[in-house]
């Protein structure tokens, strides 16, 4: 398996040091450590070097004058590691239309940083980054998005405050504590004999197809969510379902549960959530992954959908052992 076929953001780094998040004095001391470094994140885009590494900066870097405080404590990895949301910084010129595209290809230079350090779209860079670095960037991106959208207490409406080194928000009025939101999503490779089912969502790049996916509803198991989503989107009844692996997906804050499902029927009836859905044989899917298919392009490298597809093509994923849970 190549690096681009692995599921990004799934690696771990040496230590998250969760016990330190409630120790302001120790954290302040760590900010002064000689090996302390900060990853700036600008509007969801981490600082990444031309060589494909995270752009860690010292704590006196000029761009950090724009950082929201307190810093997010990520833990240790060769020294104390923090992340900073520097979205208040405003570059001189922005191509806002390009930034709104499905994949943002624009790059922004970081004030005071080396010339090869630039803010880049994490989806475009996720397979180039070292596995642990990609996971650190994904964690920072997801948490900063949560802070951006959850500034007020959901219990009383008062403005909440950052706590636990960025891993919590507390309400000073009613005392409620709020924790980062992660949305569970099922993503499934539906199989029928020698064929796999792919779908295409509105707004995707031309020709792009991927595994079906959808949010898990309250009171629903992973298996039930797989069956419901496949039936709703394509009209296909699913029998056995097997969990394969998971992937954090910080766009904005999902945890993807990758599954393999066995189709009980083959006729597709597409609903309004999809532009199209189709069955592809193993031979056709090989053409898709290699870029030789005349119409269909593959799921993004580093995505869990791409991982499921390549595992199936390699014979490591199939019907064997599929659980027929209720």
**Per-residue pLDDT at 266:** 87
Q: What is the mean pLDDT of residues 121-148?
A: 96
Answer yes or no: is 155 within a domain: no
**pLDDT tier, 323 (very low <50, low <70, confident <90, very high otherwise):** very low
**pLDDT tier, 93 (very low <50, low <70, confident <90, very high otherwise):** confident
How many Å apart are CA 222 and CA 243, to the nearest integer?
8
Domain with residue 233: its CATH number is 3.90.79.10
Is it true that the peptide bond before 70 is cis, omega within 30 degrees of 0? yes
pLDDT, one tens digit per residue, over 259-281 is: 999 999 889 999 999 999 999 99
Answer yes or no: is 42 within a domain: yes
Same domain, 9 and 119: yes
Same domain, 226 and 103: no
Same domain, 235 and 137: no
Same domain, 189 and 105: no
Q: Which residue has the higher pLDDT, 104 or 167?
A: 167
Above 70 in pLDDT, residue 169? Answer: yes
Same domain, 131 and 19: yes
Last residue of a domain, one of 126, 149, 172: 149
Closest by CA to 259, choosing from 231, 300, 223, is 223
Above 50 in pLDDT, residue 189? Answer: yes
Query: What are the backbone angles phi and psi of residue 309, rounded to the nearest 5°?
Result: -65, -45
Answer yes or no: is 222 within a domain: yes
Same domain, 35 and 96: yes
Residue 146 backbone zone (phi > 0: left; psi -120 to 50: alpha; other: beta): alpha
Same domain, 191 and 118: no
How many C-beta neighbours within 10 Å does residue 282 have? Answer: 14
Above 80 in pLDDT, residue 319? Answer: no
Same domain, 196 and 99: no
Instruction: State the DSSP code for 144.
Output: H
Task: Give me the percent of the chain exceeding a pLDDT of 90.
Answer: 87
For the sheet with 161-163, list strands across it.
161-163, 168-170, 177-178
Full residue range of the structural domain in which residue 302 is found? 183-313
**Per-residue pLDDT at 203:** 87
Same domain, 129 and 198: no
Answer yes or no: is 8 within a domain: yes
pLDDT, one tens digit per residue, over 1-40 is: 454 557 999 999 889 999 999 999 999 999 999 999 999 9
pLDDT, one tens digit per residue, over 39-66 is: 999 999 999 999 999 999 999 999 999 9
Above 60 in pLDDT, residue 91? Answer: yes
**What is the number of domains present in the chain?**
2
Same domain, 81 and 134: yes
pTM of the model as a whole? 0.92
Answer yes or no: is 31 within a domain: yes
Same domain, 31 and 78: yes
**Per-residue pLDDT at 100:** 67
Beta-bridge partner residues of 257: 186, 246
Same domain, 224 and 295: yes
Answer yes or no: is 322 within a domain: no
Answer yes or no: is 169 within a domain: no
CA 95 to chain centre: 24
Answer yes or no: is 324 within a domain: no
**Per-residue pLDDT at 324:** 42
Largest CA distance in the chain: 63
Half-sphere exposure (Cβ direction) of 286: Cα atoms closer than 13 Å = 7
Last residue of a domain, one of 149, 168, 196: 149
* Mean pLDDT of the chain, nearest integer: 93
């Amino acid at each position: 398996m190549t690096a681009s076929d692995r599921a990004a953001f799934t690696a771990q780094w040496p230590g998250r040091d969760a016990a330190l998040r409630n120790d302001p004095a120790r954290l302040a001391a760590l900010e002064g450590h000689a090996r302390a470094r900060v990853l700036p994140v600008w509007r969801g885009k981490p600082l990444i070097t031309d060589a494909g590494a995270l752009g860690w900066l010292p704590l006196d870097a000029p761009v950090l004058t724009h950082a929201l405080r307190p810093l997010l404590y990520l833990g240790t990895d060769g020294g104390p590691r923090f992340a900073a949301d520097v979205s208040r910084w405003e570059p001189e010129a922005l191509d806002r239309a390009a930034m709104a595209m499905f994949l943002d290809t624009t790059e922004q230079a970081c004030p005071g940083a080396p010339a090869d350090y630039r803010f880049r779209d994490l989806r475009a860079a996720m397979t180039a980054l070292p596995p642990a670095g990609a996971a650190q960037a994904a964690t920072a991106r997801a948490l900063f998005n949560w802070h951006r959208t959850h500034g007020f207490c959901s219990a009383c409406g008062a403005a909440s405050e950052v706590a636990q080194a960025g891993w919590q928000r507390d309400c000073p009025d009613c005392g409620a504590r709020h924790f980062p939101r992660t949305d569970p999503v099922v993503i499934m490779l539906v199989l029928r004999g020698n064929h796999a089912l792919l779908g295409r969502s509105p707004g995707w790049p031309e020709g792009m197809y991927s595994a079906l996916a959808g949010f898990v509803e309250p009171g629903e198991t992973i298996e039930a969510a797989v069956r419901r989503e496949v039936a709703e989107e394509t009209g296909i009844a699913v029998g056995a379902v097997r969990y394969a692996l998971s992937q954090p997906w910080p766009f904005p804050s999902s945890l993807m549960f990758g599954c393999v499902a066995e189709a009980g029927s083959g006729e597709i009836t597409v609903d309004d959530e999809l532009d199209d859905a189709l069955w592809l044989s193993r031979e056709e899917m090989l053409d898709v992954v290699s870029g030789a298919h005349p119409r269909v392009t593959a799921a993004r490298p580093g995505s869990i959908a791409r991982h499921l597809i390549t595992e199936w093509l390699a014979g490591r994923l199939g019907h064997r052992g599929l659980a027929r849970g209720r």
